[in-house]
A and B are shown apart, each in its own frame.
Chain A
Amino acid sequence: MSTESGHSAPTAHNEKTVTNRTMDAAVALIFMALAALVMSDSWRVGARWASDGPQAGYFPFYVGLIMFIASTVTLVTALVSRHPDLGNFVDRSQLVSVMQVLIPTTVYVGLIFLVGIYLASAVFIVFFMWWLGKYPVAKIIPVAVGVPLALFVMFEIWFLVPLPKGPLETALGY
């Protein structure tokens, strides 16, 4: 806890998002919900002792139970602690930087399903270098073309491991 509160204590008002305590409690609640799901499904397949030994849900049920108890402890500690960690979980500007990567990456993953990994990668690198790196086109193109091309040679030709391909590759005969 000491490391967490150390660097995030003095934050400007407009940098405030949520406190570490809130995040801690929220994640603990997610854990508890997940544990409940695990337990209920294990109970469904049978978590007791059958004539031929433990049933399929026997082990996961207890896994879920322990997860539930441990997360309850985390939740209670976060809520009733006398010295709650009220430090900022993430500064607003930091959150923006993280989202600047996370959102394009999510789009990239979606794009892979549509146009295949090679084209999606090229688009992703172009976008990233142009938007975040502010590079001139002359520097972007070699990287954006070179990396997918290198991947193509390495996987499709050298190691014979097929990667997801889209209409462009089909049109080129692959």
Chain B
Amino acid sequence: MEALTSLIGGFGVLADPMNIVYMFVGISLGVLIGVLPGLGGANGVAILLPLTFSMSPVSAIIMLSSIYWGALFGGAITSILFNIPGEPWSVATTFDGHPMAQKGKAGEALTGAFTGSFIGAFFAVLLITFLAPVIAKFALQFGPAEFFAVYLLTFCSFVGMGKEPPAKVIAAMMLGFALAAVGIDTVTGQLRMTFGSVELLRGFDFLVAVIGLFGVGEILLTMEEGLAFKGKSASINPRVVLHTWAQIPKYWAGLLRSAIVGCWMGVTPGGATPASFMSYGLAKKFSKNGRNFGKGELEGVIMPETAAHAAGTSALLPMLTLGIPGSPTAAVLLGGLLIWGLQPGPLLFVEQKDFVWGLIASIYLGNIAGLIVVLTTVPIFAAILRIPFSVIAPIILVICAVGAYTVHNAGLDIAVMLIFGVIGYLFKKLQYPLAPLVLALVLGDMAESSFRQAMLVSQGHLSIFWSNPLVGSIVTLALVMLVWPLVSKVMARLNGGKEAAAAE
């Protein structure tokens, strides 16, 4: 019940009308970002982050997290109306969403997607409300070895759960760690990998990397696909909304399943994208109408959206309690916390109660506000999408350049952003995942210092990672995750091709 009291306190923080204004501004910007190609949750928040330096941390996080919710909602609009996923996690939404729009049921598909998103997020924020204080209290006892073990688990999960080849996941991740190490070593003050360059002293800022990888890289990919926006028009009226809502309760089991899948994938850094696919696959398997999936089934729209939004929201749980973000966007928000002078992690719940509970309360309100905004403004955003790419693309690139510059007021960062854009394009094409790179870049310094502290404590013996049951089990679990691709490959070979064929 302590959580409830704190939550009510959090709503008190929101009573400031300016915070509500920031919330609506954030949601609207977020939907816009989610709709536009090349701008997504991660780089959208990264670009706007410098603008919030002058705000109070509470207002800033409310606005930025609202952008995130808005972007989660917005991705569905393009998927359904244009068959173009605005965000990677809404790819699964296109499977049934666009066929529905072609049948003239765009309004129902959109309502279903938005409502599914809302339910997923609501489930996840309930989880955060009641689980976060418990985890934070627990994590207060963590030493450097435990923290490193959790970092290790985070990174090994990428290897174990990613769809990409494990060697590529590891290479991308290590690139992130190596880039994070560039600059002054925080412990000894020595220069690392600067090669005599003054510009490299600063190191590589992950915000610049995110803007390049996700923004410029995405524009290049969009260009390659040669997109022509040919969309269906949408009209949402109250009758369609109510009619769709009336159908939703009968999917309760599927919704619950999707929300759980989403939360699991969000807390462990599987992310929203695999969560949406997994949820779509499960719904197809379990639904009575499974055969109709892909032809325009409402259930096929709701389920992936529920999971994606649950994952996106619950990614904040490990970020707030342990300082380990579950998604690239959560990583950018974490970067924001550091810039505002807040140290993410368990102490946040003790020292910055207003901030944490204000944020959690804003997730509740933000998603209600988001639902209202998207349901009422879909035609406007659909109209924005009809602006041709040759107008949108240069504007987005200009915004990316401005965003990269304002991170450190450094002109060279714009060039670095462009290089990261090319890297992002190559990585996407060659199946190197971007999320581990970004997370390694964000967490590199913290992971390294906890590793070195742990090593200092043990005088260089790795046995410290098995010195008590807690750290031992986390490390062991991490190693299992790491070798999981090998294990599953061996098991598949032992079972022969027969079962694999049956599973197809």
Chain A positions near chain B (C-beta within 8 angstroms): 1, 4, 20, 23-24, 27-28, 31, 34-35, 37-38, 41-42, 45-46, 49, 53-60, 63-64, 66-67, 70-71, 73-74, 77, 89-90, 94-95, 97-98, 100-102, 105-106, 108-109, 112-113, 117, 121, 124-125, 127-129, 132-133, 135, 143, 147-148, 151, 155, 159-164
Contact = CB atoms under 8 A, between A and B. Distances in A.
B181 A105 contact: no
B418 A57 contact: no
B181 A63 contact: yes
B165 interface: yes
A143 B395 contact: yes
Contact of A124 (B174, B193, B394, B430): B394
> In the complex, which range does the number of interface residues on chain B fall in?
35 or more
Interface in B208-222: 216, 219-220
B15 interface: no
A117 B390 contact: no
Interface in B186-209: 187-188, 190-193, 195
B177 interface: yes
A27 B192 contact: no
12 contacts: A41-B192, A63-B174, A70-B168, A98-B425, A101-B219, A101-B220, A133-B388, A135-B390, A143-B391, A155-B406, A161-B50, A163-B402
Interface in B405-432: 405-406, 409, 411, 414-415, 418, 421-422, 425-426, 429-432
Contact of A98 (B50, B178, B193, B224): B224
B425 A147 contact: no
Which of A37, A49, A77, A125 is packed against the most chain B CB atoms within 10 Å?
A: A125
B192 A67 contact: no
Contact of B192 (A1, A42, A128): A42
B226 interface: yes
Contacts of A161: 50-51, 406
Contact of A105 (B51, B397, B426, B455): B397
A15 B188 CA distance: 53
Nearest to A154: B51
B429 A89 contact: yes
Interface string B27-50: 000000000000000000000001
A128 B452 contact: no
B127 to A, nearest CB: 32
B460 interface: yes
Given A53-B452, A124-B394, A132-B390, 7 more contacts: A59-B448, A102-B422, A109-B415, A124-B398, A135-B390, A147-B395, A162-B409
A159 B406 CA distance: 11
10 smallest CB-CB distances across A and B, nearest first, come from A133-B390, A67-B174, A128-B394, A73-B167, A70-B170, A56-B190, A56-B185, A60-B181, A70-B171, A63-B177
A125 B452 contact: no
B465 interface: no
A34 B175 CA distance: 9
Interface string B137-152: 0000000000000000
B393 interface: yes
Contact of B193 (A41, A54, A105): A41
B414 A98 contact: no
Nearest to B418: A109
A59 B167 contact: no
Contact of B402 (A97, A143, A151): A151
B188 A56 contact: yes
B275 interface: no
A135 B388 CA distance: 11
Nearest to B415: A109
B171 A31 contact: yes
Contacts of A27: 426, 430, 432
Contact of A129 (B167, B391, B402, B451): B391
A53 B192 CA distance: 17
A45 B451 contact: no
Contact of A67 (B175, B388, B393, B409): B175
Contact of B393 (A49, A109, A113, A128): A128
Nearest to B406: A161
Given A57-B192, A70-B174, A102 B401 contact: no
Interface string B158-169: 000000010110
Nearest to A130: B390
Contacts of B21: none
B54 A45 contact: no
Nearest to B170: A70
Nearest to B422: A102
B177 A45 contact: no
A109 B170 CA distance: 32
Contacts of A45: 185, 190-192
Contact of A125 (B187, B395, B431): B395
Contacts of A121: 398, 401
B456 interface: yes
A164 B415 CA distance: 14
A55 B448 contact: no
B223 interface: yes
Contacts of A38: 178, 181, 193
A59 B398 contact: no
B35 to A, nearest CB: 18
B414 A109 contact: yes
Contact of B220 (A64, A102, A155): A102
